[in-house]
Amino acid sequence: VLVATATGETARRFAFVTIATDDYYAKGALVTLHSARLHSRPPRGSPEDVDFVLMVPASSSSISRPSEKWLRRFETLGIRVVTVPEVIPSPAVLAAMEKDRAHLASQGILEVLQPIAYGGAFAKIHAWDRELFGSYEKVVLLDGDIVAKKSIRQLLTLEPLAASRDLMDAFNYGVLVLRPDAKIHAQLQQLLTSASAADVERYSTRKRGQAGICDQTLVAGYLAAHHGPVHFFEDLRKSSREHPQSWMLSTEFNLVVSYRSKERCEEPKEAKRVEAARLVHFANNWLHFDALARDRESPGRIDSPRCYRGAFR
């Protein structure tokens, strides 16, 4: 989801933007955009205009798109739906991703960590497209598995690029404050569609053996290397603020809960972090809860209704 702001003669324009590739992902994207709207309304009389946009990749033999029924649901809520070109990953990127999936499968955790192969989400880079979003000064790009539960207007005051740190990649691509830029847009398209094995290795900040390479790995690595500095959201944990290397994906604008164990979610401090969070990011588990529901002891089990009910208040 993107939040964009553009300075005009009478108003500053903002937009929240996300992407959906089929009806399954459209469900999460609708919640993301609707909750973002509830918690980003400008004050009465403010010279600001906030838009909400759903990007939908053009359908092809390899990429699907949400049904017209679901697209009408977005439009009924006043959400603008735009079709964007498909971004086909290079053979080297696809090979790296398939190697990762084989590694996860060999460990018996593929269904937990990556039940569906990444595809149309590569088109998220069209958030930088000035033809689509050039009227906005800033854009906040959000994944479609996020719930806004408190005001997120402060995101509009942050200097691009602004994001959370990530456990393995240069930053987490789930919540990103950016400024549309034709040069960056072209560079990212070139990177994802033409990357060599050397490029994948160059821009990946993952340690050898760490699985999960995806569009975030390359996009984050490239932007951090060529278009930084990245302005990181402050972590909610005091120890992480004192020692940044120990942070735990616990920022108020991107509280990632997908890999929390059921033991951790019972900790009082975790409850406080959920209460303080403005954006809760259910990476994987929001959309792919079936595998976790079958086994209460499975890796990443979060017992969502009980542990994170505060996210839905």
pTM: 0.84
Please state, in angstroms and rounded to a whole number, the distance separating the CA atoms of residues 101 and 211.
8
Structural domains of the chain, with CATH: 6-234 (3.90.550.10)
Higher pLDDT, 40 or 103: 40
Q: What CA–CA distance (Å, rounded) separates 299 from 306?
A: 17
CB 173 within 8 A of CB 124: yes
Which amino acid appears at position 140 of this protein? V
- Are 280 and 271 in contact by the 8 Å Cβ rule? The answer is no
| pLDDT band, very low/low/confident/very high, at 296 (cuts 50, 70, 90) | very low
- Whether 297 has a pLDDT exceeding 90, the answer reads no
Residue 291 has pLDDT above 50, yes or no: no
Which is more confidently placed, 166 or 198?
A: 198
Of 85, 60, 118, the residue nearest 186 (C-alpha): 85
pLDDT of residue 271: 76
Read off φ and ψ for residue 200, nearest 5 degrees: -60, -45
Summarize pLDDT for 52-94 with one digit per residue, the tens: 999 999 877 667 789 999 999 999 999 999 999 999 999 999 9
Given a cut of 50, is residue 172 above it in pLDDT? yes
Q: What is the pLDDT of residue 298?
A: 46
For residue 205, the model assigns a pLDDT of: 87
